[in-house]
Structure 1
């Protein structure tokens, strides 16, 4: 009888609870990693600006935005294969290859520059597509396939640029690495950039706008497509996705192609920022490892199926904010990897804590 009373009254108690509160708690649990990354970024970046002699100024923001963009694009590139449940170890090498290619192509007339930019982005996407073909049709694990293809990409980069050099259009380099007002003035978009409506946004760094454009115009629409949803389904349970009739092969090809596109965009901007091409092997390895760290810090699961590129951008912001503080507080170079490793370990541990507390795998997706 007591059991019957309990069973009958339970729905009443559940219905008495505000519907919105349950949804809010669910969303907070699902985005706990992202919210933690945002809190870390606010903490580290706020601390950096408080102790910087010119903190909270436009000049500092522009400098930071330039340092953030390439890693953020590499983090977005790494996110897509991770959502499948794999890793792409070639993103740093693809970035370096496109960086060297851009030093040959992004110069000359406006038409030549536009074609050069398109060729660089296309080269990155094409290399990612090749990675996808190796994984899908060669049936090779992504971590092995991309390790081998990354070595090929570095070889091509060294062929293009045995020594650092090349040339990037000076106007493009200046306009893309400064504030929106400088971009407008460089290309004469407004009368001396002094239009009244333009002034409130003239201070915004162009790199932040570029990053926002890639996130909102490329990633967000892609995620909402059938292919984008299939990538999440594969990472959650590939067998179930296959039995549901989802386009598995197409989704994997699209994932690696998009990863190559984002990595190519990172290499293109690195060339624009440095005005040169450089087949730097240690730099490529560092960017690859940092892209994985950014994905983890942003709350995307390395098991696949949960997370997103925007969360990984936040993870990249956290990594860069930590490195900014190294300069302010004169942390010895030998101790910097230790500090970054501790932060990454803490982020991974917090993500694993939820899995350890779950009674079964289904609870991870509630």
Structure 2
């Protein structure tokens, strides 16, 4: 019985995020003119997956008690790279995909190196590196343009068997290949421990630096996957600062909605994924209910503020971080 209570407490944030998403999506499709169709699901999935990738990236850093304000700019940079590299023959496009994901990983690794070995605050570091990544994106794409391998893009944004969105399958694959092995590894446990009690984790002999560095590198990989999928969806690359900044802020909201503690040491990328899907569905609901476009940013801003506030609400009753699991 105690094991079940512990598991429920540990996954509480994820379960709440799933429930919020289910409620929001039900309201959305119930009021959509077309109802619940495969095309409606596909469109919603394609938009939600972009934020989900960036939210996963943010989660990996947040669990170490940091915050990454460059994830949106990494997405923009890799979007511009993909519009130049994921072209040509299938082999060339495949190599371009690898290069784009490697570039995202390198950006995250650079963030981790500066934060860990330079001993700088994550928020300050990622503001600076985010500006650098945006500058590189501008060098690659001073004007919107480029292209992408059309067959690959259609495969990634289409439907499997004419029903299931391929983008959701790709997102699930990234969760299975990146988050699950990381969270169960020694380095992953060290990353969680560094977020909850770094000194105690260090005294226990956990590889704190390796865990944090891997978290930052994988965050760059996930943000790079978001930039790659943005190229698949738009068939072009654009160094859009507004888009990068918006995705960074929305990723923080998605992380909190997914039950990830902004104080570090607690949460799951799976919860953040459902938080991202829920947050994106709220935006779709504003469209379905025909809110004036001028009012939509206001409502999204209010939702963002409430979401971030919820991250600290539960901590008001916590005297020790171990209380989360009691």
2:16 to 27, 36, 51: 36
| 2:18 pairs with 1:58 | no
Q: What is the TM-score of this pair, normalised by structure 2?
A: 0.96
- The equivalent of 2:56 in structure 1 is 76
SS in 1 for 2:290: coil
Q: Tell me the SS of whatever aligns to 1:33.
A: helix
Q: Give 1:253 deviation, angstroms.
A: 1.2
Equivalent of residue 166 in structure 1, options 146, 151, 155: 146
Distance 1:114 1:229, change over 3 A: same
CA deviation map 1:244-280 (0-9, x unaligned): 1111111121111000000001001101111100000
CA contact (8 A) 1:97 1:153 kept: yes
Q: Summarize the alignment of residues 5-16 of structure 1 with structure 2, pairs less than 5 Å apart.
A: none
Distance 1:208 1:361 in 2: 34
Within the alignment, does 1:272 sit opposite 2:232 as a pair? Answer: yes
Out of 191, 205, 222, the position equivalent to 1:262 is 222
Q: 119, 138, 142: which one pairs with 2:122? A: 142
| Cα offset, 1:359, TM superposition | 4.2
Q: Cα offset for 1:242?
A: 0.8
TM-score, length of structure 1 as denominator length: 0.86
Q: 1:203 aligns with which of 137, 141, 163?
A: 163
Q: Distance in 2 between matches of 1:171 and 1:85?
A: 41
> Deviations along 1:77-100, whole A, 9 cap, x unmatched?
000110000101110111111100
Q: Which whole-Å CA distance do the structure 2 matches of 1:347 and 1:80 have between them?
A: 18
Query: What SS does structure 1 have at the residue aligned with 2:263?
Result: coil
- Distance in 2, matches of 1:137 and 1:44, equals 43
Give 5+ residue unaligned stretches, structure 2: none
- 1:290 is aligned to 2:290: no
Cα drift, residue 223 of structure 1 = 1.0
CA distance in 2, matches of 1:49, 1:38: 16
Cα 1:348–1:287 change in 2 (3 A) is closer
Alignment of 1:1-366 (within 5 A): 20=1, 22-181=2-161, 202-366=162-326
User: Does the aligned pair in 2 maintain the 1:76–1:309 contact within 8 Å?
Assistant: yes
Q: Rg bigger for which structure?
A: 1
Deviations 1:317-337 (A, max 9, x none): 111110110111111233223
How far the C-alpha of 1:351 sits from its partner, in A, is: 4.0
Matched-pair contact (CA < 8 Å) for 1:96–1:280: yes
Maintained 8 Å contact 2:256/2:310: no
* Alpha-carbon distance in 2 for matches of 1:236, 1:360: 10
Encode CA deviations 1:139-166: one digit per residue, 9 max, x unaligned.
Answer: 1111111110000000000000000000
Q: What is the alpha-carbon distance in structure 2 between the residues aligned to residue 281 and residue 356 of structure 1?
A: 36
Structure 1, 341-350 or 145-154: larger mean CA deviation: 341-350
1:360–1:263 CA distance, 2 compared to 1 (3 A): closer
Query: C-alpha deviations, 1:53-83, integer Å up to 9, x for none?
Result: 2121001111111111111000000001100
- Distance change >3 Å, CA 154–CA 91, structure 1 → 2: same
Q: Which moved more, 1:81-90 or 1:36-45?
A: 36-45
Contact map agreement 2:9 2:324 (CA 8 A) in 1:
no
Q: Deviations over 1:323-354 (max 9, x none)?
A: 11011111123322332343344444444333
Q: What is the aligned partner in structure 2 of residue 10 from structure 1?
A: none
Q: What's the Cα RMSD here?
A: 1.5
8 Å CA contact 2:111, 2:216 repeated in 1:
yes
- More moved, 23-32 vs 152-161: 23-32
